[in-house]
Amino acid sequence: MTLLLTPDELLTTTRAVRKRLDFERPVSRALIGECIEVALQAPNGSNMQLWRWVVVDDRNTIEKLAGLYNEAIEEYSKLYDSGELGERARQDPGFDRMTESVMHLAQNLHRSPALLVPCIAGRMETQDIFTQASLWGSVIPAIWSFMLALRSRGLGSAWTTVHLHREKEAATLLGIPYPHYTQAGLFPVAYTLGTEFKRARRRPAADVIHWNRW
Ligand SMILES: Cc1cc2nc3c(=O)[nH]c(=O)nc-3n(C[C@H](O)[C@H](O)[C@H](O)COP(=O)(O)O)c2cc1C
Whether 54 is in a domain gets the answer no
The boundaries of the domain holding residue 155 are 25-39+62-87+98-194
User: Residues 55-73: pLDDT tens digits?
Assistant: 999 999 999 999 999 999 9
Q: Classify residue 138: in a domain, yes or no.
A: yes
Tell me if 187 sits within 8 A of 115, measured CB to CB. yes
Report yes or no on 76 lying in a domain: yes
pLDDT in tens, 134-184: 999 999 999 999 999 999 999 999 999 999 999 999 999 999 999 999 999
Domain count, the chain: 1
Q: Which atom of ligand 1 is nearest to the CA of 94?
A: 21
158 Cβ closer than 6 Å to some ligand 1 atom: yes
Considering the domain boundaries, does residue 151 fall inside one? yes
Is any ligand 1 atom within 6 A of the Cβ of residue 157? no
Q: Is residue 50 part of a domain?
A: no
Dihedral sign for Cα atoms in the order 167, 169, 174, 176:
positive
Residue 6, domain member (yes or no): no
Residue 201 lies in a domain: no
- Ligand 1 mean position to 84 CA, how many Å? 17
In a domain, 77, yes or no: yes
Q: Name the residue with the closest Cα to ligand 1, atom 27.
A: 200
- CATH number of the domain to which 156 belongs: 3.40.109.10
Closest CA to ligand 1's atom 11: 102
